Amino acid sequence: MTQLSTRRFLKASGLLLAGVMLAACGKKDEAPAPVTTPAPEAASAAAAPPPPAKVYVVGTDAAYAPFESQNEKGEIVGFDIDVVTAIAQKGGFEVKFINTPWEGIFNTLTQGDRDLVVSAVTITEERKQTMDFSAPYFDAYQLIAVKNDAKVTKFADLKKLKVGVQNGTTGDEVVTKLQGKSSPNVKRFESTPLALKELEAGGVEAVVADNGVIVNYVANNAGSNFKTVTDNSFAPEQYGIAFKKGNTELLEKFNKGLAEVKADGTYDAIYKRYFGVAAPAAVASSVPAAAASAASQ
Ligand code: ARG
């Protein structure tokens, strides 16, 4: 289901609910109903509409195309959005996406402002201490963006350069490790597009971020004259959906749905739509096993 149709559906169910509530209010003003007591089953069938689907609030930093971004209409769209929407459809619940700054995004889980976070979040040992993750749903790695004429050929070449990263990301982590904690040359931005704009403006000499986002940016901004540099010292990363620590019930719901959308081809179709190629078999097949091991932990 697209973002638009999810909204329409939400709107429609909202109207339905409003209608039911109006009808209920209207009843109050009418003459008291006759005291014939219908059979209990009949009463519940007539009085109780199906309970409205549960709506889970999803936080996402929608400045990370093609995973999450805002379109011209201000709607939040992207690969992550479609995957989570597909999971929700399977599970018979609703999801509502709220654009949430990356900085502090995980606190919204602890505070209960968001039920889950889907934001191209890399599953890391450190993060696992403070939140729970779904089974992995995407494989990623860090990628370097530099100007076309830059002499950078490997990650180590960034040791003394001004490097832009999104604050608190895995890109920030690797660059901080390379340059040292107190390096003045790590320039931390609120969002990845801001870091890339700064590269274009010449304020930084490289940007390190997730491959999918860098590739997407370079493809859509030919005028920026960027090239990408890979380095196989970057550890493989996997994205997971994040939940408040201990919210096992919700986590399992999503793991179940994720395994289902993987199994029935929905995930593959979404992947193909965004990346133009078939989903790597490793991701597709790793999910049920990973889901099983996550559930048993
Ligand atoms: N995968 C990286 C991380 O988890 C970057 C994610 C940034 N996501 C975003 N929507 N801004 O640290």
Q: How far apart are the first and last CA of the chain?
A: 32
Same domain, 245 and 125: yes
Q: What is the pLDDT of residue 282?
A: 60
Establish whether residue 122 lines the binding site of ligand 1, counting it when its CB lies within 6 angstroms of any ligand atom. yes
Res. 226 pLDDT band, cuts 50 70 90: very high
- In which domain, by residue range, is 267 found? 55-139+238-296
Q: Percent of the chain at pLDDT above 70?
A: 79
Mean pLDDT of all residues belonging to the chain: 86
Q: Is the pLDDT of residue 26 over 80?
A: no
Query: Cβ(138) to ligand 1 under 6 A?
Result: no
Cross-strand pairs, 58: 97, 116
Query: Is the C-beta atom of 143 inside 6 A of ligand 1?
Result: no
- Indicate the pLDDT class of residue 281, thresholds 50, 70 and 90: confident
Query: Do residues 83 and 203 both lie within one domain?
Result: no
- Judge whether 4 lies within some domain: no
Ligand 1, from 122, 124, 133, 167: best to mutate by most atoms within 8 Å of Cβ? 122
Residue that wins the pLDDT comparison between 36 and 210: 210
Q: What angle do CA 171, 279, 254 make, to 5 degrees?
A: 75
Q: Which two tokens stand for residue 131?
A: 């939140």
**What pLDDT does 51 receive?**
77
In a domain, 129, yes or no: yes
Q: Based on the fold, state whether residues 132 and 258 are members of the same structural domain.
A: yes
How many folded domains does the chain comprise?
2
Q: Is 3 inside any structural domain?
A: no
Domain-embedded: residue 33: no
251 lines ligand 1 (CB under 6 A): no
Q: Is residue 281 part of a domain?
A: yes
Mutate to test the pocket of ligand 1, among 77, 98, 137, 170 (most ligand atoms within 8 A of CB): 170
More confident residue, 82 or 13: 82
pTM for this prediction: 0.80
Distances (CA, A) of 79 to 108, 200, 240, 251, 272: 22, 26, 13, 19, 10
**Does 151 fall in a domain?**
yes
> Are residues 244 and 135 part of one domain?
yes
Q: State the average pLDDT over residues 246-274.
A: 97
What is the position in ligand 1's atom list of the atom closest to the CA of 168?
12
Does residue 262 fall inside a structural domain? yes
In this prediction, residue 87 carries a pLDDT of 98
Decide whether any atom of ligand 1 lies within 6 Å of the 100 Cβ: no
Contact 95, 11 (CB under 8 A): no
Average pLDDT over residues 16-25: 44
Q: Is the confidence at residue 10, as pLDDT, over 60?
A: no
Over residues 183-210, mean pLDDT: 98
Question: Does any ligand 1 atom lie closer than 6 A to the CB of residue 64?
Answer: yes
Query: Higher model confidence: residue 248 or residue 35?
Result: 248
Query: Domain end: 191, 209, 229, which one?
Result: 229
- Domain ends where: 189, 209, 229? 229
30 pLDDT higher than 80: no
172 lines ligand 1 (CB under 6 A): no
Does the pLDDT of residue 294 top 80, yes or no?
A: no
Residues 224 and 105 placed together within one structural domain of the fold: no
The CATH number assigned to the domain holding 210 equals: 3.40.190.10
Domain boundary among the residues 200, 229, 258 is at 229
The residue-averaged pLDDT of 214-239 equals: 96
Same-domain pairing of 72 and 214: no
**How far, in Å, is the centroid of ligand 1 from the Cα of 120?**
5
Residue 146 has φ and ψ, to the nearest 5°, of -140, 170
Tell whether the model's pLDDT for residue 225 goes beyond 80. Answer: yes
Q: Has residue 180 been placed in a domain? A: yes
